[in-house]
Amino acid sequence: MIYSISPHLNRCLLYNQGLIPYLEAHGWQRSLLNQRIQDPTLDDVLILLEHPPVYTLGQGANSDFLKFDIDKSQYDVRRVERGGEVTYHCPGQLVGYPILNLQRYRKDLHWYLRQLEEVIIRVLAVYRLQGERIPAFTGVWLQGRKVAAIGIKVSRWITMHGFALNVCPDMTGFERIVPCGIPDKAVGSLAEWIPGITCQEVRFYIAQSFAEVFGVEVVEMQPERFFRFE
């Protein structure tokens, strides 16, 4: 399937994956990023997937935002190179990892973050929901509840990491952290407003909105067979 607007300037390869362990997806991202640093002419990529339960902390994130002892934890916890504080991934949360060469768009990280927010806001609009931004914070809120978290890493203007949209997850995992380090902002999921919503249907709207916001032709590829990346 091809998602596009006319005219488009660039092509973006879409990989619609299933439930992928965090470390495998992280290794895949790093591999794609390194390939594009070596050869900037390669197509951009958007990966959409879900993760088994895992907590991730951004580079420099404060572990005090964990409500459990990280050294004695029964939970899977990973510190990675993205920006931002602690967040939680689990099935029912749709995660998007764009591997984009920002030299094709705009070499401006604030612009890029706002574009990712706009993708989510347009998806919510499909369901007649008004997504909101809050000044000084990154992400998307719905009636005061944060439904999408965003954290990125950029190397030589090639992006990795991305966004996580709470579609229909088990929200209890968020009770063990201060999500994104914001103690006075609750988290929410789209299922609270749209009972029965699934990640599968939202994937289509993410791809469509991504094509519109970034002005690209999104070309759906066959899912990759995963192995462990070193």
Give residue for tokens 């008004």.
130
168 in catalytic set = no
CA–CA separation, 157 vs 115, rounded Å?
15
Catalytically annotated residue among 12, 90, 180, 199: 180
According to DSSP, residue 132 is labeled: B
**Cα–Cα distance, 3 to 79 (Å, whole number):** 34
Contacts of residue 226, defined as CB under 8 A and 6 or more positions apart, other chains included, come to: 17, 20, 24, 28
Q: How far apart are CA 1 and CA 6, in angstroms?
A: 16
Tokens coding 91: 């099935």
The full 3-state SS of 35-80, as one line of letters, equals: HHHHCCCCCEEEEEEECCCEEEECCCCCHHHECCCHHHCCCCEEEC
Q: For residue 44, what are the β-bridge partners?
A: 12
Rg of the chain in Å (alpha carbons)? 17
Measured in whole angstroms, the distance separating CA 26 from the mean position of its chain's CA atoms is 12
The closest of 86, 119, 85 to 100, measured between CA atoms, is: 119
**Active-site residues: which are they?**
180
